[in-house]
Amino acid sequence: MKVRIAPVAAIVISGLMLVSSLFYLFVQPERTLPTPLWAGGLLASIVLISASAMGLYRSDRTIWRFDRVICLIGDMVLSLALVLLITTDTLHPKGEITLVGLSAVFRHELVLSFLVLLASFLLIKDSINLIYRYNQRGREILVFTMIRLSAVFTLLLLGGILFLLLYKGIGAISWEFLTEPHIRLGQEGGISTCIEGTFWLVTGAMLISAPLGIGAAIYLNEYSTHTGLKRAVTIAVGGLNGVPSVVYGLFGLAFLVANFGLSLLAGSIILGLMNLPTIILTSQEALKSVPNSLREGSVALGASKWQTVRKVVIPSALPGVLTGLIIGVARAAGETAPIMWTAVTFSATPVHKIYGVVPDVTQPVNNLCYHLLNLIYFLGAWDVETNAWGTALVLLMLVLSLNIVAIVVRNHYRKKIAW
Amino acid sequence: MDPPFRRGARLHRKYGDRLVEAVLFLSAITSILVMVLIFYFLTYESFLAFKEMGLKAMLLGPKWHPAGDIFGMAPIIWSSILVTFIALFINILVGVPLAIYLSELAGPLSREVLKPAIELLAGVPSIVYGFLGVLVLVVYLERSFLMLTGRSILAVSILLGIMFIPALATICEDALRAVPKEFKEGSLALGATEWQTVRYVTLPAASSGIIAAVILNVGRIIGETMAALLVVGNVARLPTPLFDAFDRGAIFTSVIAGEMGEVAHGSLHYHSLFAVGFVLLVIVTVLNISADLVRSMIQKKFGEY
């Protein structure tokens, strides 16, 4: 059992060093480093690992293959070199390294933290190998731990984004912020016109993309017998799905702005076309999941094709289609590039409504994303940071709550419907 | 024999059905029409720039200098290549393990948490990523590397790499899930550990899907606009030395989005920006098609399962 205590202790020490080096690397790059602690920790780990390797050598010689020995010795030498580097102060605290003309300075703290991170990882790897006597189980644990860390990273990323925006942005949110237009380049006032403009842009986009997208999906899935056409449409949809949003913006600039000017109409059309592939793909998916027996039953009762589609297929596929539509709304609300030159203006302009109901589609509108973009541009020059955080928070909440609704709708019906 | 009124209803139904089908057909070919229109307008608007500058000077010219009416795309293309490689590295480093976790390791509870989290992360608008990039990532880089400005090729690479982790993980997970259970069970029955099974059975079997996902993500990375515009620094010149990722740069999307706002309609600069967009569109379309080809090619090689 003696063999096992030593590597476990080495893992604990190296783990602490790993965490602390990560902390210095990412959180506090300016603090003075705990270099004596790191040197001590490295030395202790090296001693523990060597001791347990010796112990293992005595009890079982067969596991010491040449490559394993080389690997272990290599790690030990690297760590020892790092200890020497720390203790002899070769990288003294003022040391700054510039590499071959790169426009960055690698400060002593940064390099050291990075090296300690690397070394402690290697030491942990060796310790785990020693505990499991170099069998496959040890390797598996090491790899699976790293794989699990990627999941942790993802959760931390989402949590971090949400926390940061809530923490910094919640102070800007107030009733006035949501109900008043912005004044003085967004330094004061709220974002009401931006919310209004985003609403109408998204509504316009959905009025275009929903019928076209669902219609296309129905045709492809229910009517089309011509495989060539189906293939061509599928390729086009795939292509449209990949077209970068800025290219949609260029297309809108060349095609729509020339005809309609900077206007709500142009922006809605562009956003609608951009959403088209998403809605076609999700609707097709939903239609595909409707079992053929339902269609056959309907046709057997004497219903025509369109009656079958309208009364049987569409209601059954509705949850899936709805999910796609909601995701489309979220995407349209969060896009900036396609509307930058086609539909928006920065100065506060409430949407002009004809008869108080229908918006005047020939006028440009405000937009949350575009407003945020401008506030980011003003960051250094004007006092807009609070309002920028607030705007970002409102935008994120809007988009994420739509996404959550989509997820809930889908999960709800997935559980409910069992064909 | 049908009574006459029934015959009328049937006729009505017949032509009604025809009409509906025609309308649906039109909406189906809209996407083809839009694709053609996009290509037409970008070709049309960029043609003048290519004609004026010459194809070679435009694509390989080492200087992008709007004030002097010199528009060579080499700096933009080079920065985009650098960004793509670094971003893809980060992207794969986290995205593929995440997919493996989701498809092989996660229990029902952690799936229940992680799947929606990934979907939400994919839904975060790119302008919000750009905003956080400016206020968090760029500041961090300035502090750590004592850079004059943190807006750099590295910053945009890190940001884009992180941004598209959900996209990669989702497609890779589907690819990994498509591997039939018998493959894994066979491997485990032979005494392989779970990691050996993943490494030597599941990953190779899903390789077509994973490679296709990576290619698609390259398209997403070079096509992302707002986040790139805000943190890339927007200086279209070749970095010295060439691999200096800490220097400011400009990629396709950031050049277009950054300069189109101020440019005079119809000028050479205007057409050159369309030319940049055209090159971008061609690259992304080629990537999309090759992703499909890779998928079908490797499927042919390994056989359908």
Predicted confidence (pLDDT) per residue in A345-388, tens digit: 888 778 777 777 788 888 888 899 999 999 999 988 888 888 89
Q: Using omega within 30 degrees of 0 as the cis cutoff, is the peptide bond preceding B241 cis?
A: yes
User: DSSP letters along A270-282, please?
Assistant: HHHHHHHHHHHHH
Q: Which residue of B has its CA nearest to A376?
A: B131
∠ CA A371-A374-A378 to the nearest 5 degrees?
135
Q: Which residue of A has its CA nearest to B28?
A: A216
pLDDT of residue B13: 67
Across the interface, of B117, B140, B223, the residue whose CB is closest to A244 is B223
Q: Is A154 on the interface with B (CB under 8 A)?
A: yes
How many CB pairs lie under 8 A apart between chains A and B?
288
pLDDT of residue A1: 43
Across the interface, of A30, A255, A305, the residue whose CB is closest to B41 is A255
Task: Residue window 49-78, chain A: list those with CB within 8 Å of chain B.
Answer: none
In chain A, where the domains are located = 2-134, 175-416
Which two structure tokens, joined as six digits, stand for A9? 């202790």
Q: Is A152 on the interface with B (CB under 8 A)?
A: no
Query: Residue with structure tokens 């019906």?
Result: A413
**Using a CB-CB distance cutoff of 8 angstroms, which residues of chain A are in contact with residue B196?**
136, 140
Q: What are φ and ψ of residue A412, in 5° steps?
A: -60, -50
Per the CB < 8 A criterion, the answer to whether A365 and A264 are in contact is yes
Per DSSP, chain A holds a count of helices (H) and strands (E) of: 16, 6
pLDDT of residue A211: 93
Query: Taking CB atoms and an 8 Å limit, are A150 and B94 in contact across chains?
Result: yes
pLDDT of residue A291: 87
Across the interface, of A29, A212, A369, the residue whose CB is closest to B30 is A212
Across the interface, of B121, B246, B277, the residue whose CB is closest to A157 is B121
CA dihedral of residues B189, B194, B196, B198 (deg, nearest 10): 110
Query: Residue with structure tokens 């057997």?
Result: A300
Q: Report the sign of the C-alpha dihedral through residues A35, A40, A44, A46, in that order.
A: positive
Q: What is the DSSP letter of A365?
A: B
Interface test with A, best of B24, B79, B231 (most A CBs within 10 A): B24
**Using a CB-CB distance cutoff of 8 angstroms, which residues of chain B are in contact with residue A404?**
116, 120
pLDDT of residue B67: 83
Query: Taking CB atoms and an 8 Å limit, are B31 and A249 in contact across chains?
Result: no
∠ CA A346-A350-A356 to the nearest 5 degrees?
155
Task: Tell me how far apart the alpha carbons of residues A207 and A273 are, in angstroms, rounded to a whole number.
Answer: 11
In chain B, where the domains are located = 59-302
SS (H, E, C) chain B: CCCHHHHHHHHHHHHHHHHHHHHHHHHHHHHHHHHHHHHHHHHHHHHHHHHHHCHHHHHHCCCEEHHHCEECCHHHHHHHHHHHHHHHHHHHHHHHHHHHHHHHHCCHHHHHHHHHHHHHHHHCCHHHHHHHHHHHHHHHHHHHHCCCCCCCHHHHHHHHHHHCHHHHHHHHHHHHHCCCHHHHHHHHHCCCCHHHHHHHHHHHHCHHHHHHHHHHHHHHHHHCCHHHHHHCECCCCCCCCCCCCCCCECCHHHHHHHHHHHCCCCCHHHHHHHHHHHHHHHHHHHHHHHHHHHHHHHHHHHCCC
Task: Tell me how far apart the alpha carbons of residues A191 and A182 are, in angstroms, rounded to a whole number.
Answer: 6
The alpha-carbon gap from A355 to the nearest alpha carbon of chain B, in Å, equals 31
Query: Taking CB atoms and an 8 Å limit, are A212 and B128 in contact across chains?
Result: no
The alpha-carbon gap from A47 to the nearest alpha carbon of chain B, in Å, equals 30
Interface predicted TM-score (ipTM): 0.90
Query: Taking CB atoms and an 8 Å limit, are A147 and B292 in contact across chains?
Result: no
Q: Is A229 on the interface with B (CB under 8 A)?
A: yes
The alpha-carbon gap from A18 to the nearest alpha carbon of chain B, in Å, equals 18
* Residues lower than pLDDT 70 in chain A: 1-3, 28-30, 90-96, 99-100, 415-419
Q: What is the DSSP letter of A182?
A: E
**Alpha carbon distance, N-terminus to C-terminus of chain A:** 57
Any residues with CB less than 8 A from the CB of A368 and at least 6 apart, and which?
Answer: A191, A194, A195, A197, A198, A333, A391, A394, A395, A398
Instruction: Give the CA distances from residue A328 to residues A90, A271, B94, B284, in Å, rounded to whole numbers and listed in that order.
Output: 57, 10, 27, 22
**Using a CB-CB distance cutoff of 8 angstroms, which residues of chain B are in contact with residue A250?**
41-42, 45, 256, 260, 273-274, 277
Q: Which residue of B has its CA nearest to A385?
A: B135
Query: Which residues, listed in sequence order, are joined to residue A188 by a DSSP beta bridge?
Result: A183
CATH, range A175-416:
1.10.3720.10
Task: Tell me how far apart the alpha carbons of residues B9 and A264 are, in angstroms, rounded to a whole number.
Answer: 43
pLDDT of residue B11: 62
CATH, range B59-302:
1.10.3720.10
Which stretches of A31-138 are assigned E, i.e. beta strand? 96-97, 106-107
Going by C-alpha positions, the residue among A413, A219, A241 that lies closest to residue A320 is: A413
pLDDT of residue A393: 94
* Residues lower than pLDDT 70 in chain B: 1-13, 299, 301-305
Across the interface, of A101, A212, A215, the residue whose CB is closest to B244 is A101
